[in-house]
Each structure stands twice: as C-alpha cells, then as structure tokens.
C-alpha cells in the first residue's frame, strides 16, 4: 500500500473481513434526535478517545459493509485510535438497494420519490447540531469526516472555511463538483471507482487547494467500500480492505 509522506503503511492491523453475516462491534443509541451507531477502540470500554470520526453513509443507510468499515476504522490502528459515530440521517428510511439502478418503472418512481427530501445539503446543515449533541455526551473531540457516495457530498459541503472537521476521506463520491472542491479547507482524500468519470474526478482534484490524495480504483464499482461492496469476491474484498487502510493512514497523518 502506498504511504503518505513517509508515514508507515504498517500502522494498521485490519481484522479478517467478514463476507456475510457480519455482527457489528458498536452499539446503537439515540444522541440528540438521531439514532447513531457508535464504534469504540477494541481495548477501550466507554468513551475515552479525544479523536473521533463522523461517518456519512451512502443512500442505503446502515448496511453491513458500511458498519463493518466503521468498526475497522475504530479498531485497526492501535497507535491512533478513534471513536466512530455514524448517525442515521435517513431516520430509519434508507433507499432500498433494489431500486438502484432502477430496473422497472415502479422502482424508478420509488427512487425519484425517496431522494428529493434527502438531498445531501439537507444532511450537511445538520452536521453542527449532530457534533454538538455527540460532544454533549462524550466530550470535546477532534473530528475527521468519512463519506461514501451521498455521504461524500455531505463531507465536501461541510469541509469549507468554517468546517468542524480537521481532515476528511471520501470514497466513490456522488454528485461531486469542482465548485465544492475549491472551497475545501482541510486535507482531503478521495478514492473514486470505475463508475465515476475520470475527467470529472481530475477536474475535482485540480480545484483542490489543500493537501490531498485522489485515486481512481478503476477495477472497482461505485460503492465497493460501502453497501455495494461484494465481499465474497476476492478482488473486491482486497480493495475494500486496502481502501480502509488508506483511510486510516490519511487520518494518522492529518488528524
């Protein structure tokens, strides 16, 4: 795995990836007005880490692959440990993965009806309260942001000059825009897939004015690090693991 500016790529010990039937290590609790899945370092009981990651899932919500990824972020780097919080922006009504891509007219309508009240900017405006609510329970944190597809757009929108985050990581972003990248004020990592336009990814990269790392994983589908990751496929499983190692290395350097 590539390392960033001399930081050792051996910082992380990823547990075995579970392809099916994964059981989360974290717990669910209501913080403020949202259910949140909380993940803690393995050797810690209760809140203790001063560093935290806020995970913004994709349109499919609390999906097994995304939850396993949050556990990886919380437990795999023994030197740099994080509390990880994943709030349920969709409040129990995620997009059905069967609707995307829509194969029938009915699925298309369900998808088009689901999305407008859940646009990323609606999630973005909730971030200050979400962080305030978490810190009211668990204390002040230094925050990193993680986003997948829908959540990656939320990360970009909340990484500007007034951001509450110190660094961010995104994978297979949705609706990404160079105009967002121009405003990003913190170190930013993006892992794109084969399904994002390489030209648009490079335009987004060119607009960044901060320390950044942008890669196109051309062998992977959109969603490989979250709900659409087929962990029974050896190639995807290896890329999934490597993606989370890359995230952890970035946060080890910048958070």
- pLDDT band at residue 12, thresholds of 50, 70 and 90? confident
The pLDDT of residue 45 is 46
The pLDDT of residue 6 is 43
- pLDDT band at residue 83, thresholds of 50, 70 and 90? very high
The pLDDT of residue 191 is 98
Here the tokens at position 123 are 């999630």
User: Which of 27-36, 38-47, 71-80 bottoms out in mean pLDDT, i.e. has the lowest?
Assistant: 38-47
d(CA 206, CA 243): 22
pLDDT at 63 over 80: yes
pLDDT at 5 over 60: no
Which CATH architecture describes the domain 9-254?
Answer: 3-Layer(aba) Sandwich (3.40)
Residue spans of the domains in the chain: they are 9-254
Mean pLDDT, the chain, whole residue set: 92
pLDDT at 1 over 80: no
Give 129's contacts (C-beta < 8 A, 6+ positions apart).
32
The pLDDT of residue 44 is 45
Mean pLDDT, residues 65-94 taken together = 95
pLDDT at 4 over 70: no
Mean pLDDT, residues 168-180 taken together = 97
Q: What pLDDT, in 10s, does the model give residues 186-226?
A: 999 999 999 999 999 999 999 999 999 999 998 999 999 99
């Amino acid at each position: 795995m590539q390392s960033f500016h001399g930081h050792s790529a051996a910082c992380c010990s990823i547990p075995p990836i579970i392809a099916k039937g994964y059981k989360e290590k974290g717990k669910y609790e209501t913080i403020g007005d949202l259910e949140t899945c909380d993940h803690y370092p393995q050797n810690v009981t209760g809140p203790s880490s001063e560093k935290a990651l806020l995970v913004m899932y994709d349109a499919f919500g609390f999906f097994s692959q995304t939850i396993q990824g949050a556990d990886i972020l919380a437990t795999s780097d023994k030197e740099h440990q994080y509390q990880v919080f994943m709030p349920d922006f969709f409040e129990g009504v995620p997009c059905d993965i069967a609707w995307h891509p829509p194969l029938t007219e009915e699925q298309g309508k369900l998808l088009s009806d689901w999305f407008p009240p859940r646009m990323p900017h609606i999630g973005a405006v909730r971030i200050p309260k979400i962080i305030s609510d978490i810190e009211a329970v668990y204390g002040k944190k230094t925050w990193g942001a993680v986003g997948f597809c829908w959540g990656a757009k939320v990360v970009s929108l909340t990484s500007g000059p007034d951001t509450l985050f110190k660094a961010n990581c995104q994978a297979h972003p949705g609706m990404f825009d160079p105009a967002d990248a121009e405003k990003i004020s913190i170190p930013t990592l993006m892992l794109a897939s084969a399904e994002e336009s390489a030209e648009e990814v490079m335009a987004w990269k060119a607009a960044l004015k901060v320390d950044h790392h942008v890669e196109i994983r051309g062998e992977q589908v959109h969603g490989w690090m979250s709900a659409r990751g087929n962990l029974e496929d050896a190639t995807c499983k290896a890329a999934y693991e490597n993606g989370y190692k890359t995230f952890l290395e970035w946060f080890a350097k910048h958070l």
